[in-house]
């Protein structure tokens, strides 16, 4: 079990550019989550996948954000036309999906800086 | 709306000085309450899940308890390596959304 991995770990981009982040969950975990965390705050839920289906999405999520999990394994989060307010740590987490087990395991995060 | 409030915001303890962190919550049908530890620049590390009032879980110097309105994370005889931010989260029924508090920053002095 290698844990949740995220790539890249750091990203610096200019305002208006598009960025894409990748998350590889723990193998055989069918639940995958994306969060955003800013300094001094707790993680803020962005979206949830069960296998390849995106079942829940935050109402706060701008149309510039999109996420996919095409084969029910890894996931990507894309931000189009980045803004300075998008600067944050983007966290991915996975859980097994077993009945009665809701333990969630996080990756190391991708830190995004928009100049 | 589901909400989580953690207190205190920050806590400084001497090594060996036991204390408790509080997590107050409002949620529609608690599906689970979760505690995490987060070190600077890293992702949260899972500690405990509690599902019903009265439940308790322990791990080394940490013990988590749950009532219908709040949860406590008790730290017994802390060591400097326990210094971190401790996050609490809840998940309500009918949703997969986890709501996090802003955390308690714990500093344990040698």
Distances in whole angstroms, Cα of residue B4 to Cα of each of A34, A86, B23, B41, B102: 19, 24, 7, 23, 8
How far is B30 from chain A, CA to nearest CA, in Å? 12
**Sequence-ordered list of residues with C-beta below 8 angstroms from that of B63, at least 6 positions apart, any chain:** B56, B57, B73, B74, B76
Contacts of B91 in chain A (CB under 8 A): 102
On the question of pLDDT at A3 being above 60, the answer is yes
Average pLDDT, chain A: 93
| pLDDT confidence band for A98 (50 / 70 / 90) | confident
pLDDT of the residue at A2? 79
Average pLDDT, chain B: 96
For A30-74, how does the pLDDT look when each residue is reduced to its tens digit (9 = 90+)? 999 999 999 999 999 999 999 999 999 998 778 999 999 998 899
Q: Chain B residue with minimal CA distance to A101?
A: B49
Residue in A41, A48, A105 nearest the CB of B96: A48
pLDDT of the residue at B1? 84
For A65-89, how does the pLDDT look when each residue is reduced to its tens digit (9 = 90+)? 999 999 889 999 999 999 999 999 9
For B36-76, how does the pLDDT look when each residue is reduced to its tens digit (9 = 90+)? 999 999 999 999 999 999 999 999 999 999 999 999 999 99
Chain A interface mutation, best of B2, B89, B98, highest count of A Cβ atoms under 10 Å = B98
Burial of A20 (0-12, 13-18, 19+ CB in 10 A): middle
């Amino acid at each position: 079990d290698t844990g949740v991995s995220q790539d890249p770990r750091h990203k610096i981009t200019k305002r208006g550019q598009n960025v894409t982040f990748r998350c590889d969950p723990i193998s055989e975990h069918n639940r995958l989550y994306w969060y955003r965390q800013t300094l001094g705050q707790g993680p803020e839920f962005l979206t949830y996948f069960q296998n390849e289906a995106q079942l829940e999405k935050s109402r706060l999520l701008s149309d510039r954000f999109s996420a996919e999990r095409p084969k029910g394994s890894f996931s990507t989060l894309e931000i189009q036309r980045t803004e300075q307010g998008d600067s944050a740590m983007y966290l991915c987490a996975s859980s097994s999906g077993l009945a009665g087990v809701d333990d969630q395991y996080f990756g190391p995060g991708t830190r995004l800086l928009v100049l | 709306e589901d909400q989580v409030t953690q207190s205190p915001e920050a806590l400084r303890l001497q090594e060996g000085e036991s204390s408790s962190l509080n997590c107050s919550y409002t949620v529609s049908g608690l599906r689970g309450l979760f505690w995490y530890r987060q070190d600077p620049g890293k992702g949260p590390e899972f500690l405990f899940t509690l599902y019903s009032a009265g439940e308790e879980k322990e791990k080394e110097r940490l013990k988590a308890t749950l009532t219908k309105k709040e949860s406590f994370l008790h730290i017994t005889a802390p060591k400097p390596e326990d210094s971190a931010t401790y996050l609490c989260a809840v998940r309500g029924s009918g949703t997969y959304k986890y709501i996090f508090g802003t955390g308690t920053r714990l500093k344990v002095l040698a």
